[in-house]
Homo-oligomer: A and B are copies of this chain.
Amino acid sequence: MDHLVPTVEQDRQRMTDRLFLDDLHVGQRFASASHVVDADQIKRFGAEFDPQPFHLDEDAAANSLFAGLVASGWHTAALTMRLLLMGGAPIAGGIVGAGGEIAWPRPTRPGDALQVVSEVMEIRPSRTKPDKGIVLLRSETRNQRDEVVQVLTAKLVVPRKPQASASPSEPTLEDVVAGTNTHVGHVVRHDSAYDWEAAPWAW
Complex Cα distance, B148 from A195, in Å, reads 11
A8 on the B face (CB < 8 A) = no
Contacts of A99 in B (CB 8 A): 73, 101-104, 151
Output the least CB separation between A157 and chain B (Å). 8
Copies of this chain, count: 2
Of the residues B67, B105, B199, contact of A194 by C-beta under 8 Å: B105
Complex Cα distance, B81 from A101, in Å, reads 16
- The A85-110 residues at the B interface (CB cut-off 8 A) are 85, 93-107
Output the least CB separation between A1 and chain B (Å). 7
Contacts of A79 in B (CB 8 A): 49
CB closest chain-B residue, reference A119:
B187
Complex Cα distance, B201 from A73, in Å, reads 12
What count of chain A residues pass the 8 Å CB interface test? 61
A193 on the B face (CB < 8 A) = yes
A12 on the B face (CB < 8 A) = no
- Are A187 and B121 in contact, with the CB atoms below 8 A? yes
A112 on the B face (CB < 8 A) = no
Complex Cα distance, B184 from A140, in Å, reads 14
What are 28 A-B pairs at a CB distance below 8 A?
A: A4-B48, A49-B78, A50-B78, A50-B85, A51-B85, A52-B95, A54-B94, A65-B93, A65-B201, A72-B78, A72-B81, A74-B74, A74-B77, A99-B101, A99-B102, A99-B104, A99-B151, A100-B102, A101-B184, A103-B193, A105-B194, A121-B187, A140-B193, A148-B190, A148-B193, A151-B193, A153-B184, A153-B187
For the complex of A and B, the 3 pairs showing the least CB-CB separation, nearest first, are A99-B103, A49-B78, A148-B193
Residues on A lying within 8 angstroms of B by beta carbon are 1, 4, 6, 45, 48-54, 65-67, 70, 72-75, 77-79, 81-82, 85, 93-107, 121, 136, 138, 140, 148, 151, 153, 180, 183-184, 186-187, 190, 192-196, 199-201
